[in-house]
Amino acid sequence: MEKVILLNPYFSHTIWGGKKLRDVFGYDEPGDDIGECWGISAHPSGESFVSCGEFEGKRLSELWNEHRELFGNAEGKAFPLLVKIIDAKDDLSIQVHPDDEYARLHENGAFGKKECWYVLDCPEDAELVIGHNAGTSEELRAMVAEGRWDDLIRKVRVRKGDIIQIDPGTVHSITAGVCLLETQQSSDITYRLYDYDRIRNGKKRELHLQKSFDVITVPAPALSGQIRNCKEQEENSIRKLVSCDRYTVSKVKVSGEFTFKCDAGFVNATVIEGSGRVFDSEVKKGSHMLITADGAKCIRMSGNMELIISYI
């Protein structure tokens, strides 16, 4: 069995996207509006596919459906996770995602969307929108109806290296200048609460107010403990960033040679800094890969690099 399978990403062009995914990460993608790189995705909205080796050209969903042994025979109809790099040249819409139960009932059985962000880069004074200040559902609806966005949204200072968990029901927005790696459930369901009245191709993007009100957690939970800075790390170590019922996300720092094991059927990995090798495959900043069941038992890396890994 192949131990590591390199993946080619899918790119999404958006109203708020920029050029960093090409200029900083080196992806060969044209355009000045590249918002998202879906590096590890089996979602029908945008799939990654195998770039070389025995399975070259296969989509990740095909691997999941036809070669479940690669994933340690993990259960489930669909590959459960999605790993993206997001470059926000402009603010994203203010949005919220449903949980699994709401998505199952209202979105044709889709997964809900729990996600977490690792901040790769951001301006000195960057703030993200995380949560809101409404005390009751009535107050939330009134503030939205009256357009009192500054009063409603909760802004939080962030730094490079911060890890932030965004549970379903959390009002959130990534803001201009922030570049982050998102690990999420494999879902593309976003309810837009506000889009700054921006116009593209002559019209505003659709809002989803009723569904947003259905799923927003009111009042928003306090933020304490939800943001941690995890930039610094010892060489040749794994640092756990987030562990919840849907995924575990860790950061790996390699300097020279590093071997470790993961107690998982498969591991997603993205190089966020530097370059080196994973087993015998050459990788560099921006490389995305699946480490198979065979590889996860004893993962061998070398070089000088940092990776974000995730597994269920």
Could you please report the per-residue DSSP string of 219-236?
SPPP-TTSEEE-----SS
φ, ψ for residue 75, nearest 5 deg: -90, 165
Cis peptide bond N-terminal to 219, omega within 30: yes
Per the listing, tokens 């932030």 go with: 164
Instruction: Tell me which of 192, 200, 228, 239 is the catalytic residue.
Output: 192
Q: Find how far residue 280's CA is from the centre of its chain.
A: 27
What's the rounded Cα separation, in Å, for the pair 277 and 139? 53
Closest CA to 5 of 293, 311, 306, 305: 293
Q: How many helices (H) and strands (E) does the chain have?
A: 7, 24
Cβ(209)–Cβ(144) below 8 Å: yes
What's the rounded Cα separation, in Å, for the pair 143 and 44? 36
- Scanning 148-199, the segments in alpha helix (DSSP H) are 149-152
What's the rounded Cα separation, in Å, for the pair 174 and 306? 23
What's the rounded Cα separation, in Å, for the pair 141 and 145? 6
159 labelled catalytic: no
Per the listing, tokens 């720092």 go with: 253
Could you please report the per-residue DSSP string of 18-49?
ESHHHHTT------S-EEEEEEE-EETTEE-E
Residues identified as active-site? 192
